[in-house]
Structure formats: structure tokens, C-alpha cells
Amino acid sequence: MYAEELRRARRVVVKVGTSLVTHPNGRLHQGRLEMLVRQLSDLHAAGLEPVLVTSGAVGAGIGRLGAEGRPASLTEKQAFAAVGQGLLMHSYEKLFAEYGVTVAQILLTREDLEHPERRANARATMQLLLEWRVLPIVNENDTVTSEEIRVGDNDTLSARVAVLVDADLLIILSDVDGLFPADPRSRPDLEVLSVVEELSEELWSAAGGAGTPGGTGGMRTKLEAAAICQERGIPMVIASGHRQGVLTEILSGEVPGTLFRWPHGTARRRGG
């Protein structure tokens, strides 16, 4: 029934977290990047319009400069991001080039997304890049954002990007298989929810606040992303980024994770 809406998706935002794209020591995980780039290139070749939202700048900067384990000040994190963002883009650009896909870097802040003129500029630029068949690669502009003014996590950033570009679907690739009805660390017997149609109190309390080491997100920020998508009626999927061919699988209508869809009164609104 909802397989059809997944098969019809054309403009698809895909988010990958730090724990997927980097090793625990911060080095970029080339094998995973390759797997991701191959899948995104296949979607691109099939005429879809993928947009990648990637974390890993701070992690990769730490990996390169060897500051692992040291608590970093805000300025240090910003400096790590400045180093790591270059490393990330270098890897993506090299890998996508092998498939003949041109990429563009878009670094956004919360202010860019909220200020009418900057938002309109970001929207128009991304629109044009997609018309040119260029694949936008988005991250937060960590180097210039302080704690108070950052989006702070790429789960909600990816949802805001999905709204900005009028995406048909947001896919959050994680190192977990989807959304569990309670904390799976205390209830290992639980299975992921396959479909969520309402962000109930139970889900919010089950999501708690914990994220993964190295990344900033957790289930809570994923639910916040879902709430942003819900407002615009954009379906969202959480699935494991470790799964071979996961993007193709989702877009052929099989969700090996959790699908969030909004049948109750959330007519699709467009207009960024």
C-alpha cells in the first residue's frame, strides 16, 4: 500500500551519521563511503535526485589531528570541523567522480534556514544544482556556528533540508536498524517498528536522549526530524546504513527499518 509512495519518490534526502562514515578513531571509513556513493550514484543514474546530508566533519578532523578522547572546546571543535569537512568532501568528490557524478558542497547554519533571504538563496541554489543534475552534499557550517545558534545535529538538519528542497522522502541511515518501541539496550528482545503514523507520547519517552559516541544524534533527534517531516507530510525512513543495497531496497518499496508516514491530516504543502 505505501510501497507505491516509496517507488514514486524522486527527490530523496539521505542522511548519514558520523558513526557510519568514520571509524571509532575518527578516520574516514572508505569502505562505507564507497558503498554509500555507489548506491547514491545508482539512484542518480536512474533519474532520481538524491541529496546527501553527511556528518563526520568534526570526527574526521579529530581523526586527522589525533585528538581522540580529549574533550574539545567549542573553538577546537570548529577547527576540527574545518579540517574534517575538507577531508570528507575530498573523499566524496573522488568517489562520486568514478561514477561520473558531479557534487556540490552546501554548508548551512540555522540562521541560513530561518532568515528569509538566505533561505530563499539556499533553496534557489539547490534547486538549480538539482536541475543541473549535480548532487548536493550538505553539512552544518560547524566552523561558524556557536552552541546557541546551531541546528546542532544532522538528523534535524536533514529534515529541514528535506523541507527546503520539497523532498519526496527523507532516509536517515543509522547504525541501528530502525526505531524501537523502547530502549533496545534494556529490552534486547524488541523488534523495530515497521510503520509509525503518529508520534505518540510513548515513542517520545522511549526515544530518551542518548546518542552514539562520536555523533550528536540519538533516537530523540530522529523523532524531532520526523516531527519536522510530519508538518510537511514528507515520509521518512530510519534504516541501517550497514545493510547492502539499503537505499535501492527502500526505494523499491521494501523498508528494512521504520517508515514514518502521515495519513492523518498532513496534506503535502510545498514551498520550502
Binding residues: 15, 55, 142, 154, 174-175, 216-222
Measuring CA to CA, how many Å separate 110 from each of 42, 131, 224?
31, 25, 15
Complex with ligand GLU: residue 61 or 178, whichever CB lies closer:
61
Complex with ligand GLU: residue 154 or 230, whichever CB lies closer:
154
CB of 271 to ligand GLU, least distance (A): 26
CB of 146 to ligand GLU, least distance (A): 14
Q: Round to whole Å and give the CA distance between 134 and 105.
A: 10
The three three-digit cell numbers of residue 202, written as one number = 510513548
Q: How many residues are there in the chain?
A: 272
Q: Round to whole Å and give the CA distance between 247 and 40.
A: 8
Helix, strand or coil, per DSSP, at residue 36: helix
Provide the pairing of β-strand 169-174 with 195-196.
unpaired
CB of 28 to ligand GLU, least distance (A): 12
For position 258 contacting ligand GLU by CB under 6 A, the verdict is no
Q: Round to whole Å and give the CA distance between 146 and 168.
A: 31
For position 142 contacting ligand GLU by CB under 6 A, the verdict is yes
Q: Round to whole Å and give the CA distance between 241 and 67.
A: 26
The amino acid sitting at 245 is G
Specify the stretch interacting with ligand GLU by CB under 6 A; choose among 52-60, 93-101, 123-131, 239-247. Answer: 52-60
Helix, strand or coil, per DSSP, at residue 216: coil
User: How many of the chain's residues bind ligand GLU (CB under 6 A)?
Assistant: 16
Q: Quick check: 30 and 87 in contact, CB under 8 A?
A: no
CB of 106 to ligand GLU, least distance (A): 13
Specify the stretch interacting with ligand GLU by CB under 6 A; choose among 36-44, 54-62, 99-107, 160-168. Answer: 54-62
For position 140 contacting ligand GLU by CB under 6 A, the verdict is yes
For position 153 contacting ligand GLU by CB under 6 A, the verdict is yes
Smallest Cα–Cα separation from 104: which of 125, 74, 83, 77? Answer: 125
For position 168 contacting ligand GLU by CB under 6 A, the verdict is no
Specify the stretch interacting with ligand GLU by CB under 6 A; choose among 23-31, 50-58, 167-175, 258-266. Answer: 50-58
For position 63 contacting ligand GLU by CB under 6 A, the verdict is no
The three three-digit cell numbers of residue 216, written as one number = 550528536
Which residue from 26, 40, 41, 59 is in contact with ligand GLU, where contact means CB under 6 A?
A: 59
Specify the stretch interacting with ligand GLU by CB under 6 A; choose among 95-103, 130-138, 211-219, 262-270. Answer: 211-219
Cα-only R_g, the chain: 17
Measuring CA to CA, how many Å separate 51 from each of 11, 106, 168?
8, 10, 11
Which residue from 6, 14, 18, 207 is in contact with ligand GLU, where contact means CB under 6 A?
A: 18
For position 56 contacting ligand GLU by CB under 6 A, the verdict is yes
Binding residue positions for ATP:
15, 174-175, 216-222
Contacting residues toward ligand GLU, per CB under 6 A: 17-18, 55-59, 81, 139-140, 142, 153-154, 215-217
